[in-house]
Amino acid sequence: MENQLGILRIRVIRGINLAIRDLRSSDPYVVVRMGKQKLKTRVVKKSVNPEWNEDLTLCVAEPILPIKLQVYDKDTFSRDDKMGDAELDIVPFIDAVRMTRFKNIPNGVIISRIIPSRKNCYSEESCIVYENGKVGQNAFVRLRNVECGEIELRLQWIDIPGSKNL
């Protein structure tokens, strides 16, 4: 843990208008990667608008590694079908965490805004906010390499006591 900067909690909230990969629906799940870490949500059966509401936690040692999301359709007798992917640059989030260090910031202050563009996967503006002593961000990300679909996420930073500082 001495090489860790902190923990990034990612709440995978839901999928919106995901692609159909089975006869009339899909059985989606999300794989989250950062560096060598790999986590995944449970499979939601027969839904193109799944609700996961699952917290996944990643240890952050290198704050420049992106978060990579991949959505798959679970298949029983063949390889799981790809349903799109997205990538999130966490540097703006880490910068916001650094800004809050040793400062008396009022609850609810927007530290930073991320505007959707062709260079990122955000589908709408995303604010990094200081709430209840923690830095958090709600995000809607547009899936790439697929005909349709978005994923709603919530990021939250958790300090590790005794870890090296940001």
Q: Is 118 among the domain residues?
A: yes
pTM of the model as a whole: 0.93
Amino acid present at 32:
V
Answer whether residue 101 shows pLDDT above 90. no
Q: Is 25 among the domain residues?
A: yes
* Interval 103-127 mean pLDDT: 92
Give the phi and the psi of residue 90 in degrees, each rounded to 5.
-95, 0
Burial 114-142 (b: 16+ CB within 10 A, else e): beeeeebbbbeebebbbeeeebbbebbbb
C-beta separation of 139 from 126 below 8 A: yes
What is the residue range of 52's domain? 4-158
Q: Is 166 among the domain residues?
A: no
Quote the radius of gyration of the chain (alpha carbons, Å): 17
Q: Is 99 among the domain residues?
A: yes
Q: Can you give the CATH number for the domain in which 110 is found?
A: 2.60.40.150
Q: Is 165 among the domain residues?
A: no
For residue 165, the model assigns a pLDDT of: 63
pLDDT tens digit string along 51-99?
999 999 999 988 889 999 999 999 989 999 999 999 999 999 999 998 8
- Number of domains into which the chain is organized: 1
Q: Is 42 among the domain residues?
A: yes
Q: Is 88 among the domain residues?
A: yes
Q: Is 164 among the domain residues?
A: no
pLDDT tens digit string along 7-44?
999 999 999 999 999 889 999 999 999 999 999 999 99
